[in-house]
Structures are given as C-alpha cells and as structure tokens.
Structure 1
Amino acid sequence: MSGRAQLMWDEAVTEYDFGPGHPMDPVRLALTRKLIGALGLDREVHLAAARPAGESTLQLVHRADYIEAVKAASADPGAADTSYGLGTLDDPAFRGMHEASALIAGQSVAAAEAVWHGEALHAVNFAGGLHHAMPGAASGFCVYNDAALAIARLLELGAERVAYVDVDVHHGDGVQAAFWEDPRVLTISLHEHPRTLFPQTGWPQETGAGDAEGSAVNVALPAGTGDAGWLRAFHAVVPELLADFRPQVLVTQHGADTHFEDPLAHLAVSLDAQRAVQLACHDLAHACADGRWVALGGGGYAVVDVVPRSWTHLVGIAAGRPVEPETVIPESWRQEVYARTRRVGPLRMTDGRWPVAWADWEAGYDPADRLDQAILATRRAVFPQRGLLA
C-alpha cells in the first residue's frame, strides 16, 4: 500500500450545475480546489481523475429505467420526467446532467477502488457525497448516489464489511435505503431532526430490516445543536459501533451544511468542530479499518465562507498535513473569490473556536437535555441489536 492520499479531481465536475439561483452552486467546488492549491496541499496528494461511471456501475445501485430517464432529461431538459424526481425545483434538469452526474460518481467509485486495491490509504472526492439519490429517483440536489455506488463497488470487489458515517446536516437517506437489508454495510447518520428538516427521515427507530436489523443507525439532533453537542453525539455513538463492526473500509460523508452560517438548515456547528470530526474519522479509520478511508463531500451552501475551508481541512487531514486552524488564507485565493463572486473571502482557516470542548458520554447523562435524549434514543434502538449496552 502506498500510504499516499489520493485526491480525485476533474474540472468537469463543476458542470454539475442546476442553474442560476440554485443553492448547489458549483463555485463551491472550484473554490475548494483553488484553496487546496493555494495552501500547497495538492503537492501532498496524488491527484487523479476517473472516467464517468458506466452503465453497469450505475446499475449497482440505480434502476435501468431511471438511468434512461436521466439520459433523456440530459439530452432534452424540457422533457424531464418528474415521476423520477427530475425537472423539479430541487433537481432541475440541465443539458449534460447525466454526464456530469456519472463523472462525479466515477470519481467516488475510483476512490474506493484505489483504497481497496492498496493504491492509496486515503482517498477524497469532495465533489461527491450526493447521498439523497434513490435507486429510481433524483432527490435533494442528487442525481446519482456516488456514496452508495462506491460502497456497492467495494462489495463487488469482495469487501465483507463496509461502514458509512454521514455527518451532513440532512439524513443520508439514499445510502441507508440502498443497504437497508444488507448486513455487510453499517450506515450511521448524524443529522438535524426529521421534524424540522428535509428529507423528514432518519428517526432512531429506523434500524434496518431482515438480517440487517441494527445496521442502520440514526442520530436525530435537535435544531440549534452546536459544537459541544454535535461532538458529544458523534463520540457517544460512532466509535463504539465502528469498533464492534470492524469495517474493512470506512466511507465518510462530510456535508458542510451543519455550519451556523448555512442558509438551508438549523444546526449551529463551527468550522472548527467540523475539522474535529474529520480528525476523528481519520483516527477511526486507522483504529478500526486498517486506515482504509474514503472521504466524500456533500451538502454545504455557504459556498464562500464555509465549504472551501471545511473540505480543504478534510484534504489536509487525509494527506497527513492537517492545516492549522490559525493559518492565514493566501491573498491570491481571496482575490479568486472576489473575481468569481464579488464577495470578500474569509481571512483564516478557523471560526475562532479551536480547540472545541465537549463532554464525553461516559461522564454522565442528563435526562432533561434534548441532545442527551436524542443520543439515548439511538443507543437504545441500535446498541442491543448489536449486542452492546445502551
């Protein structure tokens, strides 16, 4: 195994573009790549690009009729079939949609292959993490579910245990659905409570079916949860489950929309707490999966102030060169931000909250605290099914 991190990048992923005014602005991808370069992190990784996922790969998760519907909408956006979730407000059809979506999926699948074959210990595709797409429908700005496809490819290659940890503010519903009855895949999602946020799923009682009962884990966080609560919830659930499951590969999704500046959700997490969870995922990959780690992007709609910094931290951690929070952002990148958006970019790689303090679950449970109630609901729903103490 080379041990070197692999960063998946092809400029054409920015063609995944739902049009002016849509929250999923591809400038967030371009600015992330520019910030990675401005900080010299691209010299610390192996840069790679992959071909778009082909028909047989896409069919590991998606139905053939849905793929054909995406192709048809891609060629003629005006004829998009809304019964497949295409041509809607969330997922407007655009010319070249199939090609751009398949390209993003191809990067995540290639990242998984590189890690499985030992060509890289860690691999990052920050353009990926499109976790809402279902086998037969687009949903939540997601056309093809690259995260589920990467996991399915790992299973096809012979993996017997793959863990997926999703810390996007929205429930990782599409990945959960893809492996709902597959005990080889453990899906863990920490997200804002479904009472207050799309897609209104991800209740703690959703734990999988058949032989896979206990393989779906959902932590539904109260709106307003901040750094200390978010980290407490993560560490109260994720490490123990991963240690028990012993995945051969850890796949993580790092949507940046948990941030307090994100316009589409209601958590109050800082960039510094996001970095802390990225570090924890890296450490858990080494502790539980022999270091095999595939890290993906996801949501994130504060496209200048948050997303590029968060995912640049992710790349630095994967590369073995974490960016110190107090690092001053190069002026060249801030000029790039202004040229592209006419906005002023942030000055440093921190929100000023590092180090982030949080209380370990073992230190005690407060029955009157809504966050602790959410954590306990998850532990009671899943842990006994896996032979663990709630």
Structure 2
Amino acid sequence: MSQKNKQTGYVYSNQLMQYRFSNDHPFNQMRLKLTTELLIDAGLLTPDQIITPRIATDDELTLIHSYDYVNAIKHASHGILSPSEAKKYGLADEDTSQFKHMHQHSARIVGGALKLADMIVNDELQNGCHLGGGLHHALPGRANGFCIYNDVAITAKYLSKKYGLRVMVIDTDAHHGDGVQWSFYTDNDILNYSIHETGKFLFPGSGHYTERGKEQGFSYSVNVPLEPYTEDASFVECFKKTVTPVVKSYQPDILLSVHGVDIHYLDPLTHMNCTLDALYEVPYYIKSLADTYTNGKVMMFGGGGYNIWRVVPRAWSHVFLSLMDQPIQHGDLPREWVEKWQHYSPLDLPTTWDDKRLDYMEIPRTAEISAKNLKHANQVASWF
C-alpha cells in the first residue's frame, strides 16, 4: 500500500445498509454501496483503506442526545414504543419512522465516525471519509429529517471533549444542518458553518444568515442561505467567499465536512440547479483549507443526495478522491460497474465521470439569483 493510500481511511460495511426506514423511502443507503463499488471497480479504493465501523456506546451517544431519547430509540428498535412517545420523539411520521434494530444500526453510523476520528487524532491516518454518515438533522431529543443519531454533532463534541480540539463543521448539503446548529447554539467550543438552499421553501426552514448563535455561542453559527435554482458559479463563489475567512479567523484543529450532494439539479427533494462540476470542486477546496489550517486533518461525511443512480456515486467518489489528492476524473466509468448495476437501475446509468447535462435547463433569472446570493455572502464575510 502506498503512503498516500495509507493516509486516507474509508468507513464502510455492508451492515451500514441496514439503516433503512422502508423500501420506498428516499433515504436509501444503496447509494453508499454504489459509490464504494464504483471506487473499487475503478481501482481507486483498496481493501486495506476500509475501516469497519463499531457501535457507539450510550455514553458516546449522550454527548449530544438525552438519555430518555436514546432509551426511546431502543424501545422503538423492539417495537415497544407507545404512539404518544413516538410522536414526542419524532418517530411518528413517514420521514423518520421506526424500524427494527434502529438503535443498533444508527449507533453503528456514529461508531464509524468516532473510530475514524480516533485514528486521525492518533496519527494512524491523515484524513478519511464516512459517506454513510452525515445525519445532521437529528436533534438532541428528537429524530428529524431522516436522521436518528447526529453522528456529526457527536463526533464534534467527542473531539472537543476527549482531545481538547477546536472543531469546525463545514456543511454543504442543500438542507440546513439544523441538528448540528441547535446542538451547539450557545456553545463556543464548536463552530458550525452551513451553506444551503434558503429555508423559505425547503426543510427544515431554518438557517437564515442572522442565526449566529446565542450567549457564549454568538458568532459560532454561520449560515449562508442561497436562493432556489442557484447554479454552479454562484454556489462556488459564495462558498469560497464565506468559508475561507471563517476558517482563517477560527483557526480550527480539525475540520468535519458534510457533503450532501442534493444541490444537483437532478435531485428530487431540492430546488438547486448545480451540476457535478460544483460537487467535484467543493471537497477539493475543503481539502486545501485543511492542508493550510489544520495540518491536513479533516473528516468528510456523506449527508443528503437522493438521486442515487445518476448523481451520488460519481459525486461522493470525488469526496474520497479529494482526500488523496487524486485528480478529478474524466472519461468513461468502469464498464463492469455500469453493466453490473444497470440491471437494477430504473434509469439509464451514466457512462462517464463528466456531467453531460442532457436535461439541464438554463435559468432565466441567473443574474438576479446570483446577485441576491452574493449580497448575503458579502454580509456574512464582513463579520470575519
């Protein structure tokens, strides 16, 4: 194994597929398997880079979540949660419903993140990714937005409490990272940055740029809301213009980044109009920030992304590749991967790494949208 490969870990196990609400639920961990096999078939991921996740302990889960909430998830795992408790703990609707052994399968996602975090801090790895994680909506005492346990918030708190590190979260998912924000809203130990589609029309409805934290946590929450139908150039410009001064000002010891890929124009749950070009560029920029400010220490999580066939595998592959300083890929996808999965896909699979944009629609209000985005980005950047 090359020294470059040895520096980057990849959290994966087939057991991560068991985090599954129902067969027709939009959150489908098959996207993780598709990504992993794409990387392997392309010769870009080797077996010795794979880190098998462990199951997080109750003490680790309660770094963020309340004891009664963790117990409620255990009860739900065995089908013994009452209807009133299910409603109280956010488990009474189709978005975040109960499923068998949900505690174990959710705690495994957290454990994978914590295992990777330990390996990075202890210099067994330089960096790594956990694409099966990124469950940034879960609240301290309530399931929320497809998320049971908030692995991002728990990992941030774990790194802060156990190792005394200054932790910064960079969240580029189309949905605001509300669970992470509210977990640390009065806390000055963790800085949470989120760039996302405005909550005016999209779940969870929060993430306005005036949400900056309270009490000791004031200025430790940073939000960059973008207009619906934002395109690549505006997204990347606003991201770089805001995230760079925040990192430079905060001087973190480690970065945790969330790479939901639902800003893509083909995503069925959002209203953004970006392409793979932006999704490829973002993790490489975060990696460059880590190289400059955190001695290369960065953990990259998955997150949203609901076009699991045509978007997620190619985009998430580049999250991993950015960590190894591998170039952005072009040309044909591995033929064996396309042939293997075409049988299962309801759509024609892409055959190249490049985004062909065959059904991309130009937005007539591009200038207006970009100007509004830039106005808010400049306002946020001026605070640092």
Name structure 1 gaps, 5 residues minimum: 354-367
- Pick from 204, 211, 215 the counterpart of residue 209 of structure 2: 204
State the SS of the aligned residue for 1:151: helix
Match for 1:24: what amino acid?
F
State the SS of the aligned residue for 1:341: coil
Shift of 1:336: 2.4
2:222 alignment counterpart: 217
Name structure 2 gaps, 5 residues minimum: 358-366
Match for 2:79: what amino acid?
D
| 8 A Cα contact 1:214 1:382, kept in partner | no
User: Residues 119-148 of structure 1, C-alpha deviation per residue, up to 9 Å, x if partnerless?
Assistant: 111110000000000000000000000011
Shift of 1:299: 0.4
Shift of 1:46: 1.8
- Pick from 342, 349, 352 the counterpart of residue 345 of structure 1: 349
2:296 alignment counterpart: 291
User: Residues 18-62 of structure 1, C-alpha deviation per residue, up to 9 Å, x if partnerless?
Assistant: 112110112111111111111112228621112111101000010
Residue 331, structure 1, aligned to residue 313, structure 2: no
Match for 1:172: what amino acid?
G
Residue 85, structure 1, aligned to residue 90, structure 2: yes
CA distance in 1, matches of 2:316, 2:306: 13
Deviates more, 1:44-53 or 1:191-200: 44-53
Shift of 1:322: 3.2
Shift of 1:352: 4.4
CA distance in 2, matches of 1:274, 1:227: 9
CA distance in 1, matches of 2:154, 2:92: 23
Change beyond 3 A, Cα 1:91–1:43: same
Residue 128, structure 1, aligned to residue 129, structure 2: no
1:373 alignment counterpart: 372
2:172 alignment counterpart: 167
CA distance in 2, matches of 1:73, 1:248: 37
Shift of 1:376: 3.5
Residue 188, structure 1, aligned to residue 193, structure 2: yes
CA distance in 1, matches of 2:47, 2:232: 29
Change beyond 3 A, Cα 1:341–1:87: farther
CA distance in 1, matches of 2:373, 2:29: 34
| 8 A Cα contact 1:44 1:319, kept in partner | no
> What TM-score comes out, normalization by structure 2 length?
0.92
Match for 2:301: what amino acid?
L
State the SS of the aligned residue for 1:128: coil
CA distance in 2, matches of 1:59, 1:78: 20
- Pick from 252, 259, 280 the counterpart of residue 247 of structure 1: 252
Change beyond 3 A, Cα 1:179–1:48: same
2:363 alignment counterpart: none
CA distance in 2, matches of 1:79, 1:228: 49
Residue 49, structure 1, aligned to residue 48, structure 2: no
| 8 A Cα contact 1:6 1:111, kept in partner | yes
CA distance in 1, matches of 2:309, 2:242: 31
CA distance in 2, matches of 1:379, 1:168: 20
CA distance in 1, matches of 2:307, 2:80: 27
CA distance in 1, matches of 2:327, 2:82: 46
Change beyond 3 A, Cα 1:77–1:141: farther
**After TM superposition, which residue ranges in structure 1, 4 or more long, deviate above 4 angstroms?**
77-80
2:38 alignment counterpart: 35
Give aligned-pair identity as a percent.
Answer: 32
Change beyond 3 A, Cα 1:44–1:4: farther
| 8 A Cα contact 1:297 1:311, kept in partner | yes
Deviates more, 1:62-71 or 1:331-340: 331-340
Match for 2:17: what amino acid?
T
User: Residues 230-264 of structure 1, C-alpha deviation per residue, up to 9 Å, x if partnerless?
Assistant: 00110110011101111100100000111000000
| 8 A Cα contact 1:337 1:344, kept in partner | no
Shift of 1:196: 1.0
State the SS of the aligned residue for 1:285: helix
Root-mean-square deviation (Å): 1.9
> What TM-score comes out, normalization by structure 1 length?
0.90
State the SS of the aligned residue for 1:42: coil
Shift of 1:160: 3.6
1:58 alignment counterpart: 61
| 8 A Cα contact 1:165 1:252, kept in partner | yes
CA distance in 2, matches of 1:379, 1:66: 40
- Pick from 261, 280, 283 the counterpart of residue 278 of structure 1: 283
User: Residues 172-198 of structure 1, C-alpha deviation per residue, up to 9 Å, x if partnerless?
Assistant: 000111111221211110100110100
